Chains A and B, each alone.
Chain A
Amino acid sequence: MLVLTLKKEWLESKREGRTLWLSRIVLMLLACALLSSWHSFQQVQSQKQQVETSERERWLAQGKKGPHSAAHYGVYIIKPDTGLSVLEPGLTDYQGVVLRLEAHKKNDTLFRGIQDSIQMQRFGNLTPAFILQTLLPLLIILLGFHSIAAERESGTLKQLLANGLCPKKFFTAKVLALFGLALLFFIPVALYIVYSLLFSDSITVQRSVLFIVSYGLYIFIWAILTLIVSSYARAARSALITLLVIWSLTCLLLPKFAINNAAKQHPIQSSQIFQSKLESEIYTPARQQAIAKFKQDTLTEYGVDNIDELPFAWSGAQLQFGEQYADTIFDRLFGQRQLQLEAQSLHYQSAAILSPFIAVQTLSMSAAATDLAHHQLFSNAGEKHRRLIQATLNGDLKDNGLTIRSSDKSYQGDRHLWEIIPQFFYQYPDIGQLTSHYRRAAICLIIWFITLILLSYFAIKRIRNEGQQ
Chain B
Amino acid sequence: MNLLICLCEIKNLLRERLLWLLIIITLFLSSLASYNGYQWLVTQNMVIKNAQNEQQQAIATAKKGLEKRLSLSKPINWWDDPYDLRGQAFYLMINYATKPPLPSATIAIGQSDVQPNFFKMLVTNKQSFINQYEVVHPLILLLGKFDLAFLIIYVLPLLLISISFNALAQEKQSGQLRILMLQGLSPLRLLFNQLIIRASIIILPLLLISVTTLLQFSNGISLLAVSMFICLILAYAAFWLALTAFVISYGKTSAYNAAVLVISWLGLVIIVPALLNTVIVTVNTAPSRIEYVDMLRDKSDNVDKSSSKVMAEFFQDHPELANKTLTNKVTGELDTNYSTKKIAKIVVLEKAMLPYDDAFQTVLMAQQRRAEQFSYLSPATILQNALFNLSGNGLIRHQHFIEQVMLHHKALRYFYQQSILIAHQRGDFNPCEGCIAHVTLADLSKVPKFIYQEQRSSTPISGVVVLLLFSGVFIFKASSRLSEMNRSQGGNIVA
Complex Cα distance, B166 from A213, in Å, reads: 40
Complex Cα distance, B281 from A273, in Å, reads: 35
B278 near A125: Cβ-Cβ < 8 Å: yes
B133 near A118: Cβ-Cβ < 8 Å: no
A81 nearest CB across to chain B (Å) = 11
Complex Cα distance, B141 from A341, in Å, reads: 13
B371 near A268: Cβ-Cβ < 8 Å: no
Q: Mark A420-436, 1 if CB is under 8 A from B, else 0.
A: 00000000000000000
B47 near A270: Cβ-Cβ < 8 Å: yes
B114 near A259: Cβ-Cβ < 8 Å: no
Q: Which residues of A contact B368 (CB under 8 A)?
A: 118-119
Quick one: given A237-B166, A271-B134, are A257 and B146 in contact (CB under 8 Å)? yes
B273 near A119: Cβ-Cβ < 8 Å: no
Residue B275 at the chain A interface, CB threshold 8 Å: yes
B115 near A115: Cβ-Cβ < 8 Å: yes
B51 near A116: Cβ-Cβ < 8 Å: no
Q: Which residues of chain B in 10-64 are interfacial with respect to chain A, using CB atoms and an 8 Å cutoff? A: 36, 43, 46-47, 50-51, 54
Complex Cα distance, B118 from A275, in Å, reads: 13
Complex Cα distance, B132 from A274, in Å, reads: 13
A51 near B293: Cβ-Cβ < 8 Å: yes
B435 nearest CB across to chain A (Å) = 21
A260 near B146: Cβ-Cβ < 8 Å: yes
Task: Specify which of B96, B158, B166, B274 is in contact with A125 (CB 8 Å cutoff).
Answer: B274
Residue A353 at the chain B interface, CB threshold 8 Å: no
B260 near A18: Cβ-Cβ < 8 Å: yes
Q: Which residues of A contact B141 (CB under 8 A)?
A: 94, 114
Q: Which residues of B contact A241 (CB under 8 A)?
A: 162, 258
Give the most central of B46, B278, B388: most A CB within 10 Å. Answer: B278
Complex Cα distance, B51 from A271, in Å, reads: 11
B146 near A237: Cβ-Cβ < 8 Å: no
Residue A325 at the chain B interface, CB threshold 8 Å: no
A79 nearest CB across to chain B (Å) = 10
Complex Cα distance, B254 from A50, in Å, reads: 59
Give the most central of B46, B137, B139: most A CB within 10 Å. Answer: B139
A112 near B140: Cβ-Cβ < 8 Å: no
Q: Which residues of chain A in 325-359 are interfacial with respect to chain B, using CB atoms and an 8 Å cutoff? A: 337, 341, 344-345, 348
Stretch in A247-255, A381-389, A401-409, A410-418 with 4+ CB within 8 Å of B: A247-255
Of the four ranges (under 10, 10 to 19, 20 to 34, 35 or more), the interface on chain B belongs to 35 or more
Of the four ranges (under 10, 10 to 19, 20 to 34, 35 or more), the interface on chain A belongs to 35 or more
Q: Which residues of B contact A260 (CB under 8 A)?
A: 36, 140, 145-146
B297 near A55: Cβ-Cβ < 8 Å: yes
Task: Specify which of A48, A117, A119, A142 is in contact with B290 (CB 8 Å cutoff).
Answer: A48
A122 near B133: Cβ-Cβ < 8 Å: no
Complex Cα distance, B375 from A118, in Å, reads: 12
Residue A130 at the chain B interface, CB threshold 8 Å: yes
Complex Cα distance, B259 from A145, in Å, reads: 10
B120 near A275: Cβ-Cβ < 8 Å: yes
Q: Which residues of B contact A145 (CB under 8 A)?
A: 259
Closest residue to A239 on the B side, CB-wise? B255
Q: Which residues of A contact B322 (CB under 8 A)?
A: none
Q: Which residues of B contact A94 (CB under 8 A)?
A: 114, 138-139, 141-142
B376 nearest CB across to chain A (Å) = 13
Task: Specify which of A98, A236, A276, A283 is in contact with B289 (CB 8 Å cutoff).
Answer: A98
Quick one: given A18-B260, A142-B259, A337-B135, are A255 and B143 in contact (CB under 8 Å)? yes
Q: Which residues of B contact A122 (CB under 8 A)?
A: 110-111, 144, 384
B275 near A51: Cβ-Cβ < 8 Å: no
Q: Which residues of B contact A110 (CB under 8 A)?
A: 131, 289, 293
Complex Cα distance, B126 from A293, in Å, reads: 38
Q: Which residues of A contact B137 (CB under 8 A)?
A: 259, 262-263, 341, 344-345, 348, 372
A123 near B274: Cβ-Cβ < 8 Å: yes
Complex Cα distance, B275 from A122, in Å, reads: 12
A123 near B388: Cβ-Cβ < 8 Å: no
Stretch in B197-205, B262-270, B412-420 with 4+ CB within 8 Å of A: B262-270
Closest residue to B50 on the A side, CB-wise? A272
Closest residue to A122 on the B side, CB-wise? B144
Residue B385 at the chain A interface, CB threshold 8 Å: yes
Quick one: given A51-B290, A259-B139, are A271 and B395 in contact (CB under 8 Å)? no
Q: Which residues of B contact A235 (CB under 8 A)?
A: 255
B290 near A95: Cβ-Cβ < 8 Å: no
Q: Which residues of A contact B146 (CB under 8 A)?
A: 253, 256-257, 260
Q: Which residues of B contact A25 (CB under 8 A)?
A: 271
Residue A318 at the chain B interface, CB threshold 8 Å: no
Closest residue to A91 on the B side, CB-wise? B138
A448 nearest CB across to chain B (Å) = 20
Complex Cα distance, B80 from A123, in Å, reads: 47
Closest residue to A49 on the B side, CB-wise? B290
Complex Cα distance, B140 from A376, in Å, reads: 16
A98 near B293: Cβ-Cβ < 8 Å: yes
Complex Cα distance, B142 from A134, in Å, reads: 14
Complex Cα distance, B278 from A29, in Å, reads: 11
B381 nearest CB across to chain A (Å) = 6
Closest residue to A100 on the B side, CB-wise? B293
Q: Which residues of B contact A375 (CB under 8 A)?
A: 138
Task: Specify which of A47, A112, A118, A252 is in contact with B154 (CB 8 Å cutoff).
Answer: A252
Closest residue to B291 on the A side, CB-wise? A47
Residue A321 at the chain B interface, CB threshold 8 Å: no
Residue B277 at the chain A interface, CB threshold 8 Å: yes
Quick one: given A47-B291, A95-B138, A98-B289, are A120 and B384 in contact (CB under 8 Å)? yes
Q: A123-B384, A270-B50 are in contact. List 5 more A-B contacts (CB 8 A).
A: A55-B297, A91-B142, A118-B367, A237-B253, A240-B259
Binding site for A on B (CB under 8 A): 36, 43, 46-47, 50-51, 54, 80, 96, 110-111, 114-115, 118, 120, 131-146, 150, 154-155, 158, 162, 166, 253-255, 258-260, 262-263, 266, 270-271, 273-278, 280-282, 286, 288-294, 297-298, 301, 360, 364, 367-368, 371, 375, 380-381, 384-385, 388, 394-395
Binding site for B on A (CB under 8 A): 18, 22, 25, 29, 33, 36, 43-44, 47-48, 50-51, 54-55, 58, 62, 76, 78, 90-91, 94-95, 97-98, 108, 110-126, 130, 134-135, 138, 142, 145-146, 235-237, 240-241, 244, 248, 252-253, 255-257, 259-260, 262-263, 268, 270-276, 283, 337, 341, 344-345, 348, 372, 375
17 contacts between A and B (CB under 8 A): A47-B288, A51-B290, A90-B142, A108-B133, A110-B293, A117-B364, A118-B371, A118-B395, A119-B395, A120-B277, A123-B274, A124-B270, A253-B146, A256-B145, A273-B50, A283-B80, A344-B137
